[in-house]
Each structure stands twice: as structure tokens, then as C-alpha cells.
Chain A
Amino acid sequence: MTENAQPATAKASATPRQIHWADYAPLLSLALIMGVFTLLVDQFWSFGTLSLVLQQSAVLAIVATGLTYVLLCAEIDLSVGMVALLSACVCGVMWEQPWAAGAKGTAHAASALTIVFVIGVPIVLATICGWISGRLTISSGLPSFIITLAMMNITLGLARFLTKSEKFAVPGVLTKIGNDGWRLFGGLRIPQSAVLAAVVMLVAHIVLEHTRFGRYVYMTGGNREAARLAGVRTDLVVIRCLAICGLTAAIGGLVNAGRLNSVSLDQNADLLLDAVACVVLGGTSLFGGEGSIGRTIIGVLTFTTLKVGLNLMNVERLIKQSPLPAGWKSQWLEASWVTQFDLLRPFLLGVVLLLALVIHGRLVKRRE
């Protein structure tokens, strides 16, 4: 295969690649969203907002990284949210055991080894969950969304059984990662969780772009049969990708629990859909073979900027500051879409997401 592939690659590099709008659609979406919010939100273009985006995107970025691998293989993992929850629950339950930190996680000090164990076990467990999903997807021949749907229920059930609906504390190191950061200049604060997310993404990027396994992932997603005939063990690639997805889900779940200071069953409910939205917004194909960690970063930043911008938007203030005639202002200020603007935020989020995805989809279609 390598022999045949080389001339084609050489030919491709000899002719300059045609630049197409579709390649830059995710970046344009991000720029557009930032531009709109710069106009609508006071001091949106500030270090404070950047810190906020970094803080709120960290968990999503970690989880979306693993999901990118799975989507690149033309598979899906619906269990990420619940695997993240189970990992955090296992960590919390173990942390409150008498041999660890005891009741409420404050009864007595735990050793460093205990902390490593309490954090390490859920990560290994989640990786095993992902591995099992992959193994069953391959051995049963069923679509991964069915297998991971079952895994989603299994992990939720286990989390419920373990926690008995109680809230559990998590180790202080997770709370620190979830909440602390480094203050730099001009109000810029780099959250520790964002640094962790950057490390996870960097490692994932290196593996994907600079290792044989990474190339196999693209080949498996692009054309599985061709990859298999070329000697790639596509089954193993799928299993590994789902295991990686479990691993990142666990890290994301633990960081989220740290950020919220505890773990309870109501966490991570939206994590799956948000992470899928991020990966797809970045331009990674749901049909596999196309995408990258770089694109996922753009997707995560777009999604989080949109959410943060909508949260920061204060229509009432905007109308008051606008150069509109006073009569219009007072009339608008009493309108239901202004007084109950908060209820419209999810609607606006959906509309903007839909627009971005449809435009990107159409551009890709035109390119093809």
C-alpha cells in the first residue's frame, strides 16, 4: 500500500491544493460569533472573557478529544456523559471510605498514594468500559451507537447503585484543578483545567498526526474495507479509539466533579450532546476519516464562546444604551422577549448552532 500511496502523495503535493471555504468554515463561524458578541456585549473582547471561555471549555475539550478519535473511525460513543459520571462517582465513593478521607472527605488526611489510587481506579475503569464497548461493537457487528447506548445505561445504573443518590466529595487535588488558575497580566487567568485540557489535546494531536496508529485511525474511518485489505487491523483501531474515549470521558468527569466540589447523579447530563456538537462544529465528519484535534479545538471554542456570549448578553442594558428613540426604548423594555430573554437563550443557542452546521454542511457539499 505504501508503495502505491507514495506517488499519489507526491502528485498531490506537487499541485497546489485548492483552497476552499469549507476548510475555513469553522474558523469563520468562530470569528463571526466573536464579532457579533463584540457588538452586543460590553467588554466582550477582554482577558476576562477569554479566561471565562477557557474555564468553561476545559471539560468539554477533554471529552471532545476522545470523541474525535471515535468519530474519525466513523463510530459514535453515546456513553461518554455517563462514563464521565460513573468515574466521578467511583472516585467520590472511594474518597469517602474510611481507608481514604472518610465521611464528607474531611474526616482525616489521605496519603498521596491513596489519592493516586482514588483517581486512577476510575480512569482505568472508564477505559475498560470503552474497551468493552469497542470489543462488543466489533464482535457483535452491531452499530456502536446501540452498544454504547447500552453502556450508557449500564454506567448510569452503576453510578446510581454506588452513590444511592447521595452526594460525595472528591479529592482536593481535583477541586484545585477544577477551580484554581494562574493570574497573568491584565486580568488574564489561565485555569488549571484549561492547561490540563491543552496537554490532553496536545498528546492526542501528536498521536493522531505523527504516529502509525493515528494514520490507521484516519484510514479506518475513511474506508474501512480498503484499510483492512491494506493490512490495518481496523477492529483493533476501533476498540482502541473507544477505550481512548472512555479515558478522556473519565478525566473530563473528574475535572468537572472537582470544579463543582462534589459529585452527584445530576451531573454531566448535557456532556454527550455538547461534546458531539463541539466536534462536529469543528468540521470533523460524522462519517469518519475527516477531522483533527485542531478542528475540535475550534469547535470547542466556538461552542463555548457562543454559550458564554449568550450568558453575558443583557438585552435590557443593550436597549437602554442604544441610540433608539425613548418611546421605542420604553416599549421594548416592557416586551416579553426582553423581560423573559433568559428563556430565549437555549433557542438562540440552537438557532446559531443550526446555522453554523448547515452552512458548513453546504460548503462541504459544494467542495465535493
Chain B
Amino acid sequence: MADAPASRRDFLHLAGVSSLAAAAGVAGCSGEIPQPAGSSASAQGSRPLKACFSNAGLQSTWCALGKKTAELWGQLLNIEVEWIDGEFDPEKQRNKIDAIVHRDWDFCCFQAVQIDSLAAPVKQLQERGIPVISMDTLLVAMDQMRDTGVWCEVTPDHVNMAEMSAGYMLKKIGGQGKVIHIGGLSAHSGAQGRKQGFENVVANYPDAEVLGGGVRWCDWKKEKARNTFESLLQQETTPIAGAFFHSDDMALACVDAIQNTIHKDMVISAVDGQRDGLDAVKDGRLAATAVNPVCRIHRTALVIGQFIARNKEAMDTVPLEIITPGPLVTRDDPNVLAAMYYLADDTHCLV
């Protein structure tokens, strides 16, 4: 678990590096700087690449920003991006992907609604020589990725995000008192990672008591989170010190519930760091949010896909897993907050 100044330094460094890499990618592809040996002709000069993208569901603001990122950076890199909405339904996503596997693509990037649900179409794409990159959650188990045809997994570090956010909350409450842990979907590997991260941190604070028997899974649903949260508040006759949510959306749906109660001073932290989360940190409704770098994930998948396609890279030269870090945003460090407003803006789509 990184402390705030370290994570800020790391973040600014990473943001710089990533921006440079992105700029180099764009400039390199447009032929303005010399191409490395073995690389293809400039992106602008060569035929546009065709990429198929799908993520869990555009209902979520996280996924919607991912789409904007792929489309924005696709334009810059001369890649035609075709989008398939997963609609948060593994069956619908599977049907849609089944319908496109016979078409010609230079590469595909998928975030599966459910692990293994897209294994068969990915295998078909592999047989046709089309590289597939997995985003955020695993398409298949890590040890089966290459056999199935998944070249690379671009993922955030869910455990670390939770460790940063929950760690900040626990420090703020002095490491003692009652805390609430509201989880996403129990079957979601990201939610499992966040649960792990929270438990790793809370284990260091023996005086912190997790209410409600541990994590309360709310399936990423705001209504369910609010109802569960209210129930936990109602049960306690002494103030609850803190709460950790697996998503900003769930946290923001609950913050009003503590107004005019004995729990009004509760320290609330969450994960995601999208625009609303940043606003909530700025105005003090949230103490902290760890950024789940949606733009970085989608952009990295796109950039790697175009390198594979344009440079004809071999599967074994591409790393199996690429972890894209995100910073912790708090009011204590306004520079990170200001940077995030710029980097996560949908006209830049950088983090």
C-alpha cells in the first residue's frame, strides 16, 4: 500500500510516461519520427486498421468512457473501431461476438461480462489469425489464455486500488472503530480483488470492526447498496467511523443517508475515480477514491493491438499481463486531483 506522496509521485511519473508513450505512438504512426526497425509504415499512410471492441455494458459510466477512449485514440492512430455493447448480459454479449467472428479484423479487444463466456468465439478468432486482447477482467483463466487465443490481459490492480482507498480511510479514522464494506458483484474478479485489498489492509488494524459480518455484496447496484447501507446504519447506536465502497457510484448513492444522523462524520472512500467521484472528493462527500484507469486500460489495449497488427509481432513477444496503475485521489493532494480532471476528461482520455 503506497502512501499519498509516493503514489502522487508515481502517478505523475506514470502519467508523464504514458502521455509520452501515447504521443510517441501517435507521432510514430504518423511518420513524424523515425520508425523503429521492423515497424510498419506510418499509420496515416497505411490502410486503416479495423478493430472490434466490446466491454461489459455501456450503461455504466466506466464502460462508456472506455468506448470514448477507444474511439478517440482509434481516430488518432488510424484505426476504425467498431463497438459491441455487452449490455451486462453474458448471453447477449456472446451472441453479438458470435456474429462478428467471421468478419475481417486486424485485432479485437474484449472485456467479458463473465469469465469463459467468450472462450469459443475467441478460439475461432485465433484460428483465423486475429489477435484478441483481454481488458479489465479475464476472458479465460490466466493459464489458458494463450491456448484460447488471448494474447494479453490489460488490467488494473484491483487489490492495490482497494488497499490505497481503504488504507486511507482507515488511517483517517485512526485505525479504530466500526467500518462498513460494500462490495460489487461477488463473481466479478475485480470485486474479489477489491475485497482482498480491503481485507489485507484491515488485517493491520485489529481495533477496526467490520460491520454486517464482512463484505456486503450489492452487485454494483446503487439501490441495493443504499438499502444495505441504511440497514447497517440503523442497527448501530454509536457512530460508525468509516465505509469503503467498491465503486464511486454505490458510494455516492449512499452519502445522503448519513446526513442528520449520528454517523454524519463517517469517512467514506471508494474505487473508480470517474468524474463524479472526483467531484465528490473535491466537495468533501468522499474522502478518497482510487482511480480505476479506464482510459489507460482501453488505450493500452488499442495501442498494443495496433503494434501487433502493424509490426506483425509474435504472440510470445507480447507480455501475458499488463497492469495499468491508477492513483489515489484525496483532498490532501490537490495536484493529483487537478491532474486527474485533465487526464480523465473525455476529450483527452488518458487515465
Contact = CB atoms under 8 A, between A and B. Distances in A.
Interface of A: 42-43, 48-49, 51-52, 55-56, 104, 160, 164-167, 175, 179, 256, 259-262, 264-270, 307-308, 311-312, 314-317, 338-339, 341-343
Contact of B212 (A48, A166, A314): A314
A51 to B, nearest CB: 8
A164 B64 contact: yes
A52 B276 CA distance: 27
Nearest to B255: A261
Given A56-B230, A342-B214, A342-B217, A260 B64 contact: no
A253 B209 CA distance: 36
Contact of A179 (B60, B217, B228, B256): B256
Contact of A266 (B216, B220, B235, B279): B220
Contacts of A260: 222-223, 226, 253
Counting chain B CB atoms within 10 Å of each CB, the highest count among A52, A166, A262, A311 belongs to A311
Interface of B: 58-61, 63-64, 186, 212-217, 220-223, 226-228, 230-232, 234-235, 249, 252-253, 255-257, 259, 276, 279
B223 A256 contact: yes
B59 A52 contact: no
A261 B256 contact: yes
Contacts of B235: 42-43, 312, 314
Given A51-B234, A260-B223, A264-B222, 19 more contacts: A160-B59, A165-B58, A165-B60, A165-B61, A165-B64, A259-B226, A260-B253, A261-B252, A264-B249, A266-B59, A266-B60, A267-B223, A268-B223, A270-B223, A307-B227, A311-B228, A341-B213, A342-B214, A342-B217
B326 to A, nearest CB: 20
Contacts of A311: 227-228, 231-232
A166 B222 contact: no
21 contacts: A42-B235, A48-B234, A52-B230, A52-B231, A160-B58, A167-B276, A175-B256, A260-B222, A261-B255, A264-B59, A264-B60, A266-B60, A266-B220, A266-B222, A268-B223, A311-B228, A312-B231, A317-B213, A339-B214, A342-B215, A343-B217
B234 A52 contact: yes
A308 B249 contact: no
Contacts of B217: 342-343
A164 B276 CA distance: 16
A49 B259 CA distance: 17
A308 B231 contact: yes
B173 to A, nearest CB: 21
A343 B256 CA distance: 26
Nearest to A311: B231
A265 B257 CA distance: 22
Contacts of A56: 227, 230
Nearest to A49: B234
Contacts of A264: 59-61, 222, 249
Contacts of B64: 164-166
Given A104-B279, A261-B252, A342-B217, A167 B230 contact: no
A275 B220 CA distance: 21
A327 B157 CA distance: 40
A167 B61 contact: yes
In the complex, the 5 A-B pairs of residues with the closest C-beta atoms, listed nearest first: A165-B64, A265-B59, A311-B231, A260-B253, A165-B58
B274 to A, nearest CB: 9
Q: Which of A42, A48, A104, A266 has the most CB of B within 10 A?
A: A266
B259 A179 contact: yes
Contacts of B226: 259-260
Contacts of B255: 261
Nearest to A310: B231
Contacts of B186: 343
B213 A55 contact: no
Contacts of A317: 213
Contacts of B215: 342
Contacts of B279: 104
Nearest to A304: B227
Contacts of A42: 235
B203 to A, nearest CB: 15
Q: Which residue of B60, B212, B257 has the most chain A CB atoms within 10 A of its CB atom?
A: B212
